């Protein structure tokens, strides 16, 4: 693996599968009360410029269960919040810590942080990418379906960080993916081009449409996300209009395979992007997906921090 995990295309197919295999092992050990202090004596700094439930708790508990020390670092409490250059913060923290997880806005900022750091940097979420979530999603799909290769994933909603990382992750593993976004809410050109490149390389399909019904047809997995992500609250009303017809509901799911999974990275806005009925019918896999953030991230930590 690279020194850092900044985006999904940092990982090859084999590296993704190695992470998933280790995550499965760590989950099994946790369920059976087998301790695994693989990072004893290691410290992880966790920088949060965006608030979080799942990211903070899963990384903090995960580091603790691996025998290490997690440190919550709010940007309000760091000099970075008072104008210290990110390069200087990186060089200082590199002398104290063994790794940094950061949840922030700018992908460029996290890449500057990684370039200046001598320790691993993990992307806990940026506006462009959400690799930790996608690894947990892939882990969940494999648990439930037993395979990944050849499955069809449909993503319905905003062309956001989830959509971007999902395109790269699925196509890298030989899965077909169909994306349905409203006009004006497509993924950035980089991810469309990358998707086309990976689809050709791995002989799988990558399709984009404005019609959710076309995307969902015969899907093995249907994934959605909120219509207005953190930092987009001022656009909520505009987005409610643009995303009308993009709700994952009973009618839409009738077009997917009978045993299709539904995943949502949470928090969910019930009766907006997903109905209460569908969320509760698929609560088992959705909350397993949330739990798997813990196991997938522990695997990432071991792979990066134990070097």
pTM across the whole model: 0.96
Nearest CA to 273 among 215, 219, 213, 225? Answer: 225
Q: Which of 7, 142, 264, 293 is catalytic?
A: 293
On whether the CB atoms of residues 292 and 131 are closer than 8 A, the answer is: no
Q: Other CB atoms closer than 10 Å to residue 1's CB: what's the count?
A: 16
| Catalytic site includes residue 133 | yes
Map tokens 């060089």 to a residue: 91
Tokens of 16: 């993704």
At the topology level, CATH places domain 131-290 in Rossmann fold (3.40.50)
| Catalytic site includes residue 95 | no
Q: What is the phi-psi region of residue 55: left when phi exceeds 0, alpha when psi lies from -120 to 50, beta otherwise?
A: alpha
- The domain 8-129+292-306 is classified under which CATH number: 3.40.50.1100, 3.40.50.1370, 3.40.50.1110, 2.40.170.20? 3.40.50.1370
| Catalytic site includes residue 107 | no
Every domain of the chain with CATH number 3.40.50.1370 lies at 8-129+292-306, 131-290
Biggest CA pair distance of the chain: 55
| Catalytic site includes residue 88 | no
Check residue 81 and give its pLDDT.
Answer: 61
On whether the CB atoms of residues 99 and 120 are closer than 8 A, the answer is: yes
CA atoms within 13 A on the CB side of 258: 0
Q: Which of 7, 98, 130, 247 is catalytic?
A: 130
**pLDDT tens readout for residues 78-111:** 877 667 888 999 999 999 999 999 999 999 999 9
Check residue 82 and give its pLDDT.
Answer: 67
pLDDT in tens, the chain (307 residues): 899 999 999 999 999 999 999 999 999 999 999 999 999 999 999 999 988 999 999 999 999 999 999 999 987 778 776 678 889 999 999 999 999 999 999 999 999 999 999 999 999 999 999 999 999 999 999 999 999 999 999 999 999 999 999 999 999 999 999 999 999 999 999 999 999 999 999 999 999 999 999 999 999 999 999 998 867 778 888 999 999 999 999 999 999 999 999 999 999 999 999 999 999 999 999 999 999 999 999 999 999 999 7
The strands making up 99-103's β-sheet, listed across from edge to edge, are 69-74, 43-48, 99-103, 121-125
**pLDDT tens readout for residues 230-249:** 677 788 889 999 999 999 99
Average pLDDT, the chain: 96
Q: Which of 4, 128, 137, 225 is catalytic?
A: 225
Check residue 279 and give its pLDDT.
Answer: 98
What is the DSSP code (8-state) at residue 9? G
> With pLDDT > 70 as the criterion, what percentage of the chain qualifies?
98
The binding site for carbamoyl phosphate comprises 52-55, 79, 103, 130-133, 265-266, 293
On whether the CB atoms of residues 291 and 24 are closer than 8 A, the answer is: no
Nearest CA to 5 among 81, 119, 158? Answer: 119
| Catalytic site includes residue 130 | yes
| Catalytic site includes residue 176 | no
- Measured distance CA(226)–CA(157) in Å, rounded: 8
Check residue 75 and give its pLDDT.
Answer: 73
């Amino acid at each position: 693996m690279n020194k850092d995990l900044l985006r999904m295309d940092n990982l090859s197919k084999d590296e993704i599968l190695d992470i998933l295999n280790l995550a499965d092992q760590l989950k099994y050990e946790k369920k059976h009360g087998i301790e695994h202090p693989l990072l004893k004596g290691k410290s992880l700094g966790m920088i949060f410029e965006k608030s979080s439930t799942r990211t903070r708790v899963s990384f903090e508990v995960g580091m603790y269960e691996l025998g290490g020390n997690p440190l919550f670092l709010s940007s309000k409490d760091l000099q970075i919040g008072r104008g210290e250059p990110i390069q200087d913060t990186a060089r200082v923290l590199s002398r104290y810590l063994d790794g940094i997880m950061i949840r922030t806005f700018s992908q460029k900022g996290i890449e500057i942080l990684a370039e200046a750091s001598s320790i691993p940097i993990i992307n806990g979420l940026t506006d462009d990418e959400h690799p930790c979530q996608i690894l947990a999603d892939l882990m969940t799909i494999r648990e439930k379906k037993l395979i990944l290769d050849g499955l069809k994933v449909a993503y319905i909603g905003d062309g956001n960080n989830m959509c971007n990382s999902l395109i790269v992750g699925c196509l890298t593993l030989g899965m077909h993916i169909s994306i349905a976004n409203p006009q004006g809410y497509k993924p950035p050109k980089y991810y469309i081009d990358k998707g086309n490149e990976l689809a050709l390389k791995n002989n799988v399909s990558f399709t984009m449409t404005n019609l959710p019904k076309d995307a969902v047809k015969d899907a093995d997995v249907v994934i959605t996300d909120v219509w207005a992500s953190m930092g987009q609250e001022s656009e909520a009303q505009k987005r409610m209009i643009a995303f009308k017809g993009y709700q994952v509901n009973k009618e839409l799911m009738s077009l997917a395979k009978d045993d299709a999974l539904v995943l949502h990275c949470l928090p969910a806005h019930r009766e907006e992007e997903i109905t209460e009925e569908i969320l509760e019918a698929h609560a088992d896999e959705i909350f397993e997906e949330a739990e798997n953030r813990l196991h997938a991230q522990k695997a990432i930590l071991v792979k990066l921090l134990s070097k």
